[in-house]
Structure 1
Amino acid sequence: NIRRVGRDGDPYYLDATSPETSPLPFHGYIWVENNRIVGNVTLIYMKKNGQNLYFVANVSVDPEYRGRGIARMLTRCAMRHAQEHNGHSVTLQVREDNQIAISLYESLGFVEYTRRTNWGIQKRPPNLTHLTTPAIKIAPRQAENWSQQREWLNQLYPEKVSWFLPYQLSKQEPGFFNDFSRWLNGDSLHFWQATQAEKLIGLATLENINLLQDYLWIATSPAYEEIAIPALVSKIARRSLHPLRIQVNYPAHRAVAAFQALGMKEINTLIWMEYTIPPVLPQ
């Protein structure tokens, strides 16, 4: 009942490629009963640091067919595919409030390694830079602050997180070569910093991802985030032509009051889980 499938928009079509060879960004398997697709698992392949990594982007079963173990079999099919292709690990994301799916993945050997919340702006926020004493100053980023920004970014967007986000640290590095490269590639990035009493407390990069999304990559520390985030986001959003497109991906359950003070809405909180593939999958 499981068949390999490639996807190019809608509808689905079967092909002879695999996630490793397909030119399409999405691939995977479907569950078919009575010539009807009732379930699917979407698999994305990437190679990082010489390792074959797999990301399960979606496991879905028609409501009429749930409770029969189809999701488990589809997930195991994706795991076995990764194992048969010398995969190092399989990663997936699941909503924090989806306990049924969490229990399923845990029973298959997936282990949580982080939780991330996506925040979205609902309306243009007020100016919050003056609510602290002394007031916070927001200004364009100074190149000499790059080393601190890079350190904070690496803490907030470590490699195992940034792989699965539209994020590239090297794009944010200052310098003539990067400025020219961004101009040549049509990349739109704007850089800001926040200081209080001449002390650097945070930085942010606003990056246009597509026509519907702008990501704000925040760099700060737990010591400053509750005051740096409201000041940075309010200033940047008020200067943006499209503030409602701005999203922030941030470690879950951190700086919640800061985001709420901005009137931002929690889009979702996702648990990131990983299965490290042994030489032989358990039966």
Structure 2
Amino acid sequence: MEVALPSSRQHIRPLRSRKDILAVADLIEICFADHMDFDGREYIRYLRRFAVPDEGLTGKLLEPFQVPVRGLVWEEDGQIIGNLSLISFNRQGKRYTLIANVATHPAYRRRGIARLLTENALQQIRERGEPEAWLHVREDNPAAIHLYQSLGFEEQCRRTSWLWEPHYGFLPKVSNDKIRVLHRQASDWPLQSRWLDEIYPPEISWNLSLDKNRLKPNFWKDLWHWLNGGEALHLSAYRNDLLAGVISWQPTSAYADILWLAADCQHEEEIIAVLLPAAGRRLRNGRPLAVNYPAQRAIEGFRRAGFQPHVTLIWMRIQFS
């Protein structure tokens, strides 16, 4: 016997207070416990830190304007049992909205709550005049994939996050007589830039922390960085004396530092196997390393380099007519 679902108008409202934030943090932790990684747990801690109220007059006056995330919640009997976050990005004059953290408490599932939250979010995005909306879903979550497809979302790509962590052991030294690894030269940039655009195209780079201007060679910028004790790493791989790949390191405050990989697709397997461990060994900072790459590409190369697949996400988009 199916449970009759009351009108969503009675239960869906905007997320709007510190009290909401604490309940949402608890809900996300419950719903994603099986897959939550270090950055996910840090996000939960961030929400809970914010949820501690400022009891002063200023804190009370500013509270309605200080909620760190936007979104919708489903509330029943005074409890938040459903959530959907809306994250906005502005890149190169274009606005993007990402739907995230769609969660329903396990005791209330199979009642259509996630569908109704998503439909309401899409209506809001459409009414703001935006032409599209995006979301990410794990490829091992067929129920969610089916839900989003039924709402009109279409798959755009699949991306795998590859990870190396210190407890995996030392990065291997992969030898290849055809490949030499050297410090990047300024003359390598045109090919690196072109490969970056192929591997991280504009239709997805808006949701990545890739900033090509930061990676572009610049003598004065690099000198200032060095004089201030900073560290930069850009390595090029030459195959039979022809440039075949470049890797650039980006330190982060997240769990893992990022390696931006740009390689000739014809030789990416062998380039990745040599270039990734070479970069990791030169860094020697004990930090985990992550690479975002198109799914199902260069799998053997990443494994030979000592990296393991962390998660594969399907990027989905819906366009409004």
The structure richer in helix per residue is: 2
Report the more deviating stretch, 50-59 or 269-278.
50-59
The structure richer in strand per residue is: 1
Structure 1 unmatched runs, 5+? 279-283
Corresponding position: 1:31 with 2:74: yes
Q: Report the Cα offset of residue 191 of structure 1.
A: 0.6
1:258 is aligned, of 301, 306, 320, to 301
1:98 is aligned, of 117, 141, 154, to 141
Paired residue total: 270
- Counterparts of 1:277 and 1:243, CA distance in 2: 46
Corresponding position: 1:147 with 2:147: no
CA contact (8 A) 2:232 2:249 kept: yes
- Counterparts of 1:259 and 1:65, CA distance in 2: 41
CA contact (8 A) 2:89 2:206 kept: no
Corresponding position: 1:205 with 2:215: no
Structure possessing the higher radius of gyration over alpha carbons: 2
State the match for 1:226 in structure 2: 269
Relative to 1, partners in 2 of residues 1:184 and 1:98: Cα closer, same or farther, differing over 3 Å? farther
Relative to 1, partners in 2 of residues 1:114 and 1:99: Cα closer, same or farther, differing over 3 Å? same
- Counterparts of 1:227 and 1:123, CA distance in 2: 21
Instruction: State the identity %.
Output: 35
Q: Report the Cα offset of residue 264 of structure 1.
A: 1.5
Corresponding position: 1:9 with 2:55: no
State the match for 2:153 in structure 1: 110
Structure 2 length-normalised TM: 0.78
State the match for 1:281 in structure 2: none
Corresponding position: 1:192 with 2:235: yes
- Counterparts of 2:183 and 2:276, CA distance in 1: 13
- Counterparts of 1:260 and 1:91, CA distance in 2: 30
CA contact (8 A) 2:277 2:306 kept: no
Structure 2 unmatched runs, 5+? 1-10, 22-45, 54-62
Relative to 1, partners in 2 of residues 1:233 and 1:111: Cα closer, same or farther, differing over 3 Å? same
- Counterparts of 2:52 and 2:129, CA distance in 1: 27
CA contact (8 A) 1:89 1:277 kept: yes
Relative to 1, partners in 2 of residues 1:115 and 1:179: Cα closer, same or farther, differing over 3 Å? same
Q: Report the Cα offset of residue 253 of structure 1.
A: 0.3
Corresponding position: 1:69 with 2:79: no
- Counterparts of 1:184 and 1:71, CA distance in 2: 52
Q: Report the Cα offset of residue 233 of structure 1.
A: 0.6
- Provide Cα deviations, 1:40-76, integer angstroms capped at 9, x if missing partner: 0010112334433211122111111111100111111
Q: CA RMSD in A?
A: 2.4
- Counterparts of 1:92 and 1:201, CA distance in 2: 33
Q: Report the Cα offset of residue 78 of structure 1.
A: 1.4
Relative to 1, partners in 2 of residues 1:243 and 1:196: Cα closer, same or farther, differing over 3 Å? farther
State the match for 2:122 in structure 1: 79
Relative to 1, partners in 2 of residues 1:163 and 1:187: Cα closer, same or farther, differing over 3 Å? farther
State the match for 2:30 in structure 1: none
CA contact (8 A) 1:39 1:71 kept: yes
Structure 1 length-normalised TM: 0.87
1:133 is aligned, of 156, 177, 197, to 177
- Match of 1:148, SS state, is helix
Q: Report the Cα offset of residue 9 of structure 1.
A: 1.5
Q: Report the Cα offset of residue 196 of structure 1.
A: 2.2
- Counterparts of 2:280 and 2:187, CA distance in 1: 25
Corresponding position: 1:167 with 2:210: yes
